Amino acid sequence: MRSKDVRGFRAVGAIVAALCAVAATSAAAQSIQLKPGAAPGRVIHRSDIRNDAYCEIAPVLGKPPNDIAQVYNTTAPGDECPGDKMAAIDPQALAGEIGAETVYLNPTPQSARRYWVIDEISEFSVGETVDFHGVKATWVASTPSELLKGVIAAPYTPGEIRGEAMYLYSKGDKVFLMRAPDAKVWILQSYATEVDNDLSFDRLSGLDSALKLPDGYRFEVVTLRQDLTIDTRKAGGVAHVIRDELHNVYAGCGFDAACNYIPGGLASPPHHRPHGRRH
């Protein structure tokens, strides 16, 4: 795996990442004080992270309609997400400790694992690092609670995450993508064992047979002829995300200037799958 000199970043993770959620109502006295938001001058850069495991914890702070999910991610140097510690977190109790309306945990179930498919990640909007009972995570992004709920409620529902980040997929590596009929392309950013316990990086090329894609969508595996970057700073700090029914998370290209190009191309138009979903 190559390392590129790309400065700072983080998720859509990402994340959200994709965030697979366990929601809980706050109940106990607040004991963990959060100060979400970017810290001036703080950045993150990690290389060679393809197939590295990570976690996210997203407390929802504020009252509707101004409730915001604050995304803490374990990708920064020094962060850690031991499987046993993540599995032991009680989201309802944690919501009470934080003073949050709800806490979303990624992955869910917590015994599952989530893995990066990108090669490098850079975060330019980075905040505090918090120890959530043995899971050390750093603030990297935020999103309105309603948008997050939409993404996790049903597969193939687009959403947005706000944060300044760059993802890099290296020349010569494979990317796994969904090409939509509206010319948008969704690049696989992370995969998870939440639904399919046996899913691994080596099996990603065969996702087409496991997914019930919406009508007109096509799954492709493309070997990159040049580095692909998705830089949310070129899109006003907005990352477009979607997830499939296996809870794998994809980043969107074709919405704005975030992607330096759209990889691959079709020799024929997308086929209509008889078992597909419609939006």
Q: How many domains would you assign to the chain?
A: 1
Q: Would you say residue 27 lies in a domain?
A: no
Q: What is the pLDDT along the chain (279 residues), one digit of tens a residue?
A: 444 433 333 433 433 433 443 444 333 456 899 999 999 999 999 999 999 999 999 999 999 999 999 999 999 999 999 999 999 999 999 999 999 999 999 999 999 999 999 999 999 999 999 999 999 999 999 999 988 888 888 899 999 999 999 999 999 999 999 999 999 999 999 999 999 999 999 999 999 999 999 999 999 999 999 999 999 999 999 999 999 999 999 999 999 999 999 998 543 333 334 344 333
Q: Would you say residue 241 lies in a domain?
A: yes
Q: Would you say residue 265 lies in a domain?
A: no
Q: Would you say residue 139 lies in a domain?
A: yes
Note the pLDDT of residue 110: 94
Q: Would you say residue 9 lies in a domain?
A: no
Q: Would you say residue 99 lies in a domain?
A: yes
Q: Would you say residue 192 lies in a domain?
A: yes
DSSP the chain: --------B--SBTBBTB---------S---S----SPPTT--EEE-S-TT-EE-EEEEEES-TTS-EEEEEES-STT-B--HHHHHH--HHHHHHHHT-SEEEEESSSTTS-EEE-SSEEEESS---EEEETTEEEEEEEEEEHHHHHHHHHSTT--EEEE--EEEEE-TTSEEEEEE-TTS-EEEEEEEESSS-TT--GGGGGGGGGT--PBTT-EEEEEE-SS-EEEEGGGGTTEEEEEE-TT--EEEEESSSSSBS------SSPPPPPTT-B--
- Domain extent, residue 122, equals 44-253
Q: Would you say residue 161 lies in a domain?
A: yes
